[in-house]
Amino acid sequence: MWSDRALRRAFRLVLVWTLSAAASPASADQKVVVKMATLAPKGSAWHLILQEMGEKWKKESGGQVTVMIYPGMVAGDDADVVRKMRLGTLNAALLTSVGLSNVDRSILSLQVPMMYASYEELDYVLDRMTPALRKDFEEKGFVILNWADGGWVHFFTKTPVRKPDDMKSLKLFTWAGDNEAIEIWKAAGFHPVPLPSTELSTSLKTGLVNALATTLQAAVIFQWYTDAPHLTEVKWAALLGATVISKSTWGKIPAQVRPALQAAAQEAGQKMRRQIRQSGPQETAAMKKRGLTAVRLDPDDEAAWRSAAEALYPAIRDRLVPARAFDAAIGYRNDYRKGPSSPPYR
């Protein structure tokens, strides 16, 4: 039997140990491994910037947080990645707007075809919508760490396309599973072919699809332009992306560490955006040297694309993009076009 004195001493030792463990900022069992996926191929600018961010996370956290990156679709396409994040087999990802829309469709208000004429317009709207978007994503269990551009979306086709009617005879790649978007394309008279993005390269080679909407950078990285060698020079939409982490994983990271990690993520996003926005002319020139033909549009051609896009807006609003988000985005865009003296959209 222990004496009262021995019991009191043992209790004090347990109490001291417990308080010390609670106060310890970096015990071994507090380490967090963040499994992060991206469609970006290994060695691409996006992948390298994510790697740099991961190193900063490790340094800023004192080794408590380690990032493991799975590039180049090894974890599947964006829809697969979001599903795996919900299951907990992945913790974070650099997603395109397609993947982000699997979390919340409000993000597609920044992807409405022909709604934005410049990056300045897009940035103006995104800055004002970010608080609401962050809230929407957190309610769905995801934390937005940064925004990242993919560049302007153009059409790449097997045969030249100048006007919307030229596209209607072609087999246009669309993301599998996005049934609302597929039906909108069909209703507008186009011929969408829904496929996983992992099958796009093979489908272009076999002729299952002969047209796609993508960015200059993606066309170069994945070599899609070699099988769709005609570029229609219309800014159909700006591809928006973001790095997100599951709320449960973010919550495992010590609160005092998170601001530094958020800052590193913001820096990475800004670097991606600068690099993508500056590289467009070089990407186009590189593809032209290898056989790409650019189809230049005159004002009437551009007006035809704008008219075709705006004709889709009633179907896009509420059916594809929540009406609240659609109306907010177009309201902020109109504010920008009125100039700095205009009253803000409410």
Homologous superfamily (CATH) for 32-318+329-338:
Bacterial extracellular solute-binding protein, family 7 (3.40.190.170)
Decide which of 270 and 73 is more confident. Answer: 270
Residues 6+ apart with CB under 8 A from 111: 97, 237, 238, 239, 240
Section 244-265 average pLDDT: 97
Place of tokens 């302007």: 152
Residues 6+ apart with CB under 8 A from 11: none
DSSP string, 5-74: HHHHHHHHHHHHHHHHHHH-S--GGG-EEEEEEESSPTTSHHHHHHHHHHHHHHHHTTTSEEEEEE-TTT
Residue-level pLDDT at 101: 94
Q: Which of 72, 139, 133 is nearest to 108 (CA)?
A: 133
CB atoms within 10 A of CB 72: 17
How many Å apart are CA 275 and CA 272, to the nearest integer? 5
How many Å apart are CA 316 and CA 188, to the nearest integer? 12
Section 197-224 average pLDDT: 94
Backbone angles phi, psi at 151, to 5 degrees: 100, 175
Q: How far is CA 248 from the centre of its chain?
A: 20
> For residue 36, is pLDDT > 70?
yes
Q: Which of 305, 79, 316 is nearest to 194 (CA)?
A: 79
> pLDDT tier at 340 (50, 70, 90 boundaries)?
low
> pLDDT tier at 12 (50, 70, 90 boundaries)?
very low
> For residue 8, is pLDDT > 70?
no
> For residue 152, is pLDDT > 90?
yes
How many Å apart are CA 284 and CA 293, to the nearest integer? 10
Backbone CA torsion sign across 207, 212, 193, 308: negative
Section 261-275 average pLDDT: 95
> Which of 174-183, 188-197, 225-234, 256-265 is predicted with the least confidence, judged by mean pLDDT?
174-183
How many Å apart are CA 39 and CA 291, to the nearest integer? 26
The set of long-range contacts for 81-85, using a CB threshold of 8 Å and a minimum separation of 24, is 81/37, 84/37, 85/142, 85/244, 85/246
> pLDDT tier at 73 (50, 70, 90 boundaries)?
confident
- Percent of residues, the chain, with pLDDT higher than 70: 90
99: which DSSP letter?
Answer: H
Q: Average pLDDT, whole number, for the chain?
A: 89
